[in-house]
Amino acid sequence: MKSIVITGSTRGIGRGLAQSFLARGCKVTVSGRSQAAVDSLVEELTAAFAGSQVAGCACDITRQADLQGLWDCAKAAFKRVDVWVNNAGISIHRAPLWEHSEADLAAIVDANLKGMLLANKVAMAGMKAQGGGQIWNMEGFGSNGMAQPGLAAYGATKRAVNYLNKALRKDAAGTDIQICTLSPGIVVTDLLVGDYDLNSPEWQRAKRMFNILADRVETVTPYLADGILRANQDGAKVAWLTMGKAMRRFLAAPFRKRELFADLPC
């Protein structure tokens, strides 16, 4: 089965993807910024999936040396990397751009743009040397050009994903490297909820929409993993929340009540 590397996989969507790939018999290399968290996850996954093959390595995606270390870890464990998923990223609190500190803006650009560039650089070089492979870059809010107040910085970094994928496909022309897009939609994670003051009217409005459109990690990631494993074409895209699905959910909302945030203090 395929050897999969997932950046930012100690929690949230990345963790869910790791579990889904292991359930399908894949070899998985997980990563996160803390080696202790990575080691704990490897131990947990090994226990949960009997006979599974799991490796792990701490990785700060803003450091090329760390990303190279992650590639080397996966190669040492499983001989090659068939699929590299660029999942790691951060958000900052929702606010008008002028209210964000220089440090906040630097952090989000470093993780979501610089980190994405470096991760693709390392993965493409490794795949070119081994004779091919598949890279999946993760979309987020703003990737399709939508905009909302307070999300200028985050949305701008995610809008860059679409340009990057188009450009990388041209760079990879003539090789056996496939550049693909993963679109998870709205998923209930710390990244989503952490943008809001849970006592604010803004959160109450957002929560109503999320209860229509959002889904839990365990619902979305099996679908994404299946789509990745089926895909065998440069430029492939796996999207969970399509326009048609969103429209059907809005039409059904008056008759189908959902509560995804019952465990939050809000």
3-state secondary structure 35-49: HHHHHHHHHHHHHHC
Q: For this structure, is 154 an active site residue?
A: yes
E strand map for 7-145: 27-32, 53-58, 83-86, 133-138
Q: Give pairs for 167-175: CB < 8 Å, separation 24+.
A: 168/120, 168/124, 168/135, 169/234, 169/235, 171/124, 172/124, 172/234, 175/127, 175/128, 175/132
**Planar angle of CA 158, 162, 163, nearest 5 degrees:** 110
Whole-number Cα distances in Å, 102 to 92, 160, 236, 262: 12, 20, 36, 35
Q: Is the dihedral of CA 247, 253, 258, 264 positive or negative?
A: positive
Q: Which residues are catalytic?
A: 154
